[in-house]
């Protein structure tokens, strides 16, 4: 197995966060496609799977690497991670149906702390003191950026938010576990094979769900492919970045560094949509940037 550069995970994580920001912008296309939450989620996996599978097959053929033996442990990690990601997505969307959804969104940002705890318990990958300092600073910065208006606390929104953060965190841990099961393959080979298997399982699972629970939605998804295919492509590109980063580094460090995504989003809002940044947002961005520096140092 070829040794990857020590700092490669940093650049890959930044790439994944940037592409995910672009995907969120493109998802505005889905609003005009009149798809349900399930349909929009399904379209992301459906159009992402063929691309991930093609890249995996081409990479393995080009490098002369045989298709790996996919153990039961590997599939366990894949299925658990895929299910956790889908459930977290549904919970996050459910927040928007609540009057005080901003509270819930703030609580989803506890994901980085939960990832660090889950990583230690499930994969025995412990985050050191410096790493915890970076995680806490980053979470404080993100909470500063997502602070809801005063007097709008909603217990159910908080529960949904913490649940979504936990499920997103668990899915990150399970995805890293899946990539580790494929050692000693090349790091990118492990990432893209795991991603292809994950999007395949999610496409099958979501397809069955829509067939049983939302009759007619599958037809609408296929009919709206021109509007959703770009979201699927950018989604799988971002996922490829996350999976590659997970194959290189502790998921806690990857998710903590990935918080730079919210900085990208605010910068785009200011530059592209001419939205003014407030003082509170400036302080939040500064805290996130400080946390990223600490995380990079700890990840070394």
Distance, CA of 288 to CA of 141 (rounded, Å): 5
pLDDT of residue 2: 54
Is residue 3 in a domain? no
Is residue 2 in a domain? no
Is residue 200 in a domain? yes
Q: Distance of CA 27 to CAs 60, 156, 226, 232, Å?
A: 31, 26, 13, 10
Output the pTM of the full model: 0.84
- In the chain, how many domains are there? 1
Is residue 102 in a domain? yes
pLDDT in tens, 225-247: 777 777 778 888 989 999 999 99
Is residue 139 in a domain? yes
Is residue 294 in a domain? yes
Is residue 1 in a domain? no
Give the range of the structural domain holding residue 131, as residue numbers without chain letter.
8-299
Among 78, 79, 53, residue whose Cα is nearest residue 178: 78
Look at residue 88 and tell me whether its pLDDT is greater than 70.
yes
Mean pLDDT lowest among 82-96, 117-131, 253-267, 277-291: 277-291
């Amino acid at each position: 197995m070829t040794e990857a550069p020590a700092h490669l995970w940093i650049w890959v994580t930044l790439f994944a966060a940037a592409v995910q920001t672009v995907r969120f912008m493109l998802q505005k296309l889905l609003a005009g496609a009149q798809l349900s939450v399930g349909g929009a989620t399904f379209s992301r996996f459906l159009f992402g799977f063929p691309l991930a599978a093609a890249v995996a097959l081409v990479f393995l053929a080009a490098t002369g690497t045989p298709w790996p033996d996919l153990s039961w442990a590997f599939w366990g990690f894949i299925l658990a991670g895929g299910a956790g990601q889908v459930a977290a997505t549904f919970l996050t969307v459910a927040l928007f149906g609540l009057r005080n959804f901003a509270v819930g969104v703030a609580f989803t940002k506890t994901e980085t702390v939960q990832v660090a705890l889950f990583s230690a318990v499930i994969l025995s990958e412990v985050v050191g003191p410096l790493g915890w300092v970076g995680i806490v600073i980053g979470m404080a910065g993100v909470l500063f950026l997502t602070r809801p208006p005063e007097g709008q606390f909603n217990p159910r929104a908080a529960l949904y938010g913490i649940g979504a953060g936990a499920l997103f965190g668990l899915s990150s841990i399970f995805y890293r576990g899946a990539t580790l099961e494929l050692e000693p393959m090349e790091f990118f080979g492990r990432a893209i094979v795991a991603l292809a298997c994950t999007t395949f399982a999610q496409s099958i699972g979501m397809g069955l769900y829509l067939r049983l629970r939302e009759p007619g939605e599958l037809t609408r998804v296929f009919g709206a492919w021109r509007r959703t295919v770009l979201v699927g492509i950018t989604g799988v590109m971002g996922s490829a970045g996350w999976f590659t980063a997970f194959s290189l580094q502790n998921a806690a460090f990857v998710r903590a560094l990935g918080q730079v995504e919210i900085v990208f989003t605010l910068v785009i809002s200011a530059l592209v949509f001419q939205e003014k940044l407030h003082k509170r947002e400036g302080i939040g961005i500064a805290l996130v940037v400080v946390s990223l520096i600490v995380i990079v140092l700890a990840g070394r």
